[in-house]
Amino acid sequence: MLGVNRDERASKGGEDPAPTPAGSPAGDFGRAEDHLSPDAESVRAAQSFGGELRLQAKLAAPLVLASLGTMAMGTVDTLMVGRLPGEREAEIGLAAVTSGNVVFMAAAMFATGTLTAIDGLLSQAIGASDARGAAQAFQRGLVLSIAFALLLLPPLGFVAPILRMLDQPAETIEPATGYVFALLAGLPAFLVFVVLRQSLQALQRPRAILSVVLVTNLLNFGLDYLLIFGKFGLPAMGIVGSGWASSACRWAMALGLLWLGRDALRPLWSTRVPGLLQLRAYAGMLRVGAPVGVQNVLEFMAFGGVSMLMGWISPRAQAGHAVAINLAALSFMVPLGVSSVAAVRVGRAVGRGDGPGGRRAAQASIGLGAGFMSVTAALFIALPALLAGLYTDDPELIAAAALLLPVAGAFQIFDGLQVVCLGLLRGAGDTVVPMGINLVGYWVLGFPAGYLLAFELGVGPRGLWWGLVVGLASVAVVLALRTRHQLARRVERVDLGFDAS
């Protein structure tokens, strides 16, 4: 049985079920059950809050480190670009990387968000001992990742017109365009990596993810040094070199994760799933995943829109924002890792029909995420100049970033709460209503408030960030109420629908 090992069955006085016939849908999964999912530990842990908290901390630690490692690659990129030689090279480079990343990630965010839903769907299948359902989620996710990459490549070829339409500083458009073109080479690997990562999270096998991210960080540092500054006879490519380094690292991450996770993932790709190329096979997955993609776009574009509006104020304001938002995003990686565990723990509880276990999982994950963000809030408020000085030696740029960091401190706990609640709801298969909450919170309340404060009331860069506080606070509070309401009742497992067999 998937998700319950032989020891647990023996402890319950039960007998092993009859062997699954070779070649049947559950056959490969059944033979690999002992290393696929240590669900005996999961089920026992879910019986008490303390056990759940300990298990979540154990599962979250490598995922948090992996999330921090992924973010560290972007931090290294920012640090190195911030040290480009020349009077204005660093300022223009940081602004160009910021605007280029906004365009690239805005295009990719729907795809990555949709694929992120795989961990909840796969976890529900594991909890329900449904081998074919787990294989369906995984294999359809891989097909979707390639389809998304093919669909995104053409529109991303129009970076320069998009940046001009967004009224970005003229001197940043050419380097930002070259940077995005370099990133396109790694787009397919980026999306495949998301599928592999979410699947290993659902299988509660996070160490392979951490190992790949740690090794790739070293590779990224080396490639950034070689390509940005032109070492060992290579041409100095500036921020375009950073883009090529990122693409190379994304291929290394996808291939490395495929290799290190091959044993855990083998039952997912060896189980036969008919109808992979039939469009109607994806209706159920898109029904759950597409709203996650939309809500990710809404949130990202709110933050990305602030980045663009900073360019309306000045390149220095945009560069200061780049430093401050990078620090805020770095702290965000911790509750993001907890959110991934939350989706898996609630998904497994839903799959096995364990309502109390799902509620204990929610309490533990909210405590972990909000607790950490309270620490970072204090640091951002108390030490803004010191933290900004880690990125640049320019005193004016430090001052621009330090102006914003105390505001980031005001939204840290809300940011942690909202992302953990999104993970909990994703594990329960509830994604449509959270999408609507994001739409109202960020675009009806937060973004307009920031624009009004910054430009109409003359508050400037801090006004844009206070708008983020409004958006995050409203989203976090309503999502927390939604989570409480959903997990208080029996949650049914998501039906992926079409089966061609």
Instruction: Quickly list DSSP for 234-281.
Output: ----THHHHHHHHHHHHHHHHHHHHHHTHHHHHHHHHS--S-TT-GGG
Which pair of tokens denotes residue 158? 């129009």
Q: Please report the pLDDT score of residue 453 as a whole number.
A: 94
Closest CA to 221 of 265, 264, 252, 262: 252
The verdict on residue 492 lying in a domain is no
- For residue 64, which of 315, 373, 277 has the smallest C-alpha distance? 373
Token digits of residue 224: 């950034």
Predicted pLDDT at 87: 60
Q: Cα angle at 257 between 255 and 262, to 5 degrees?
A: 100
Q: Position of tokens 């240590």?
A: 38
**Quick one: which of 180, 186, 210, 178 has its CA closest to 197?**
210
Residue 419 lies in a domain: yes
In a domain, 1, yes or no: no
Distance CA 129, CA 23 (A): 17
Higher pLDDT, 33 or 295: 295
pLDDT at 43: 60
Report the alpha-carbon distance of residue 241 to residue 77 in Å, rounded. Answer: 10
Average pLDDT, integer, range 450-459: 92
**Residue 387 resides in a domain:** yes
- As a whole number of angstroms, the distance between CA 112 and CA 43 comes to 30
Mean pLDDT (the chain, rounded): 83
Average confidence (pLDDT) over 307-327 = 84
pLDDT grade for 2, boundaries at 50, 70 and 90: very low
Average pLDDT estimate for 462-486: 94
| Model confidence pLDDT, tens digit, residues 145-157 | 999 999 998 888 8
Nearest to 387 by CA among 467, 330, 306: 330
Residues 6+ apart with CB under 8 A from 485: none
Of the segments 23-37, 77-91, 280-294, which one has the largest average pLDDT value?
A: 280-294
Q: What distance lies between CA 207 and its chain's CA centroid?
A: 17
Share of residues in the chain with pLDDT > 90 (%): 41
10 versus 209: which is more confidently predicted?
Answer: 209
For residue 86, give every residue at least 6 positions away whose Cβ sits within 8 Å of its Cβ, in sequence order, or none.
none
- Give the model's pLDDT for residue 293: 92
Tell me which DSSP letter residue 444 carries: I
What is the rounded distance in angstroms from the CA atom of residue 58 to the CA atom of residue 140? Answer: 29
Q: Which pLDDT tens digit goes with each residue over 252-310?
A: 999 999 999 999 999 898 888 877 888 887 888 899 999 999 988 888 888 878 887 88
Written as one letter, the residue type at 21 is P
Q: How confident is the model at residue 436 (pLDDT cuts 50, 70, 90)?
A: very high
- For residue 328, pLDDT over 80 is answered with yes
Question: What is the arithmetic mean of pLDDT over 475-497?
Answer: 88
Token code pair at residue 204: 């509660």
Strand locations in 168-269 (E): none
**pLDDT tens digits for range 336-385:** 989 999 999 999 989 888 888 889 899 999 999 988 999 999 999 999 99
Look at residue 25 and tell me if it is in a domain.
no
The pTM is what?
0.80
To which residue do tokens 């809500």 refer?
295
Full domain range(s) for residue 80: 49-487
Q: Is the pLDDT of residue 29 over 60?
A: no
Lookup: tokens for 355: 């309502």
Q: Write the burial class of residue 394 (CB in 10 Å: 0-12 exposed, 13-18 middle, 19+ buried).
A: buried
Which amino acid is residue 293, in one-letter code?
A: G
Measured between alpha carbons, how far is 306 from 446 in angstroms, rounded to an integer? 11
CB 483 within 8 A of CB 339: no
What is the reported pLDDT for 132?
86
Number of residues that this document lists for the chain? 501
Residue 5: which region, alpha, beta or left (left: phi > 0; alpha: psi -120 to 50)?
beta
> Is 285 contained in some domain?
yes
Average confidence (pLDDT) over 429-443: 94
Region label for 23, one of left (φ > 0), alpha (ψ between -120 and 50) or beta (otherwise): left
Burial class for 161, CB neighbours closer than 10 Å (0-12, 13-18, 19+): exposed
- What is the residue whose two structure tokens read 């036969």? 272
pLDDT of residue 292: 92
- Show the CA angle centred on residue 429, arms to residues 424 and 433, nearest 5°: 85
Nearest Cα neighbor of 182 from 224, 99, 225, 244 is: 244
* Total domains, the chain: 1
In the chain, the amino acid numbered 230 is G
What is the predicted pLDDT for the residue at 414? 94
460 inside domain: yes
Residue 252: inside a domain: yes
